[in-house]
């Protein structure tokens, strides 16, 4: 039955989100989802494998939503650019398990999610390329030539950095009002 696996996945997602990976025990998940501990292991090899699928689900949602923006026929490149950034932050705000992933990296406790994160990085770079190409062919953006790739990387770096100030340090509500200004700053800084 899909039912059991999904229930475990859903409950696990909530618990991991609320208490973090380390402080959520398999015991907790089993109790909360009213399943036997062994049942979790029937569907998921590991605690890590369970967390992996939880994060995977979040990122699937993120990509699906962002793709709608990128392919939206009613927006020009500049609008897509801004919409993408804002929606990205909005969805990430509700993807707490992916966010936990950004940190612990360092001590390689979550090396097992690297696959997912790198895949997302590549995917996002691709989307930005599309937006920019559209902007260039529409005459809105200037073709940066060889510098384009580096600029894109730098831009993504800043973007990912903001996730931290925004979410992990819980400044979301504090900074959100100034987010427009921030996007302007970035656009201006990158505009040459």
Partner DNA sequence: CATGAATGAGTGTTCATTCAT
Partner DNA sequence: AATGAATGAACACTCATTCAT
Can you give the binding site for a second copy, defined by CB under 8 A?
19-23, 96, 99-100, 102-109, 117, 150-151, 153-154, 157-158, 160-171, 175, 178, 181-182, 185-186, 188-190, 192
Residue 108 interacts with which of a second copy, DNA, none, CB < 5 to 8 Å by class: a second copy
Q: Is 4 a residue that touches DNA (CB under 7 A)?
A: yes
Residue selected from 42, 121, 129, 147 as contacting DNA according to rule CB under 7 A:
42
Joined tokens for residue 112: 């097992």
Q: What is the DSSP letter of 164?
A: I
d(CA 134, CA 192): 17
Which two structure tokens, joined as six digits, stand for 99? 């966010």
**CA-to-CA distance for 132 and 189, rounded, in angstroms?**
16
Of residues 1 and 192, the one with the C-beta less far from DNA? 1
| Residue 10 lies near DNA (rule: CB under 7 A) | no
Contacts of residue 15, Cβ cutoff 8 Å, sequence gap at least 6: 24, 28, 29, 32
Give me the helix-helix angle, 47-70 and 2-19, nearest 10°: 90
DSSP 178: G
The region of 23-31, 71-79, 95-103, 183-191 touching DNA under the rule CB under 7 A is 23-31
74 phi and psi, to 5 degrees?
A: -95, 5
- Nearest residue (CB) to a second copy, 18 versus 64: 18
User: Is residue 36 involved in binding DNA (CB under 7 A)?
Assistant: yes
Binding at 106: pick from a second copy, DNA, none (beta carbon under 5-8 Å per type): a second copy
List of residues contacting DNA (CB under 7 A): 1, 3-5, 23-27, 35-39, 41-43, 45-48
């Amino acid at each position: 039955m899909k039912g059991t696996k999904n229930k475990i996945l859903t409950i696990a997602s909530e618990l991991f989100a609320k208490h973090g990976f380390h402080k959520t025990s398999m015991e907790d998940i089993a109790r909360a989802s009213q399943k036997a501990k062994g049942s979790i292991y029937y569907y998921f090899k590991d605690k890590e494998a369970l967390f992996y699928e939880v994060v995977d689900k979040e990122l699937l949602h993120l990509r699906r939503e962002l793709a709608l923006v990128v392919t939206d026929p009613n927006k020009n490149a500049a609008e897509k650019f801004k919409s993408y950034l804002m929606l990205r932050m909005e969805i990430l705000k509700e993807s707490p398990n992916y966010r936990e992933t950004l940190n612990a990296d360092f001590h390689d406790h979550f090396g097992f999610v690297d696959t997912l994160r790198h895949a997302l990085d590549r995917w996002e770079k691709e989307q930005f390329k599309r937006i920019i190409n559209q902007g260039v062919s529409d005459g809105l953006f200037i073709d940066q030539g060889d510098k384009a790739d580096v600029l894109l990387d730098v831009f993504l770096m800043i973007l990912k950095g903001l996730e931290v100030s925004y979410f992990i340090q819980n400044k979301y509500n504090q900074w959100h009002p100034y987010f427009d200004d921030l996007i302007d700053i970035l656009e201006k800084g990158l505009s040459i």
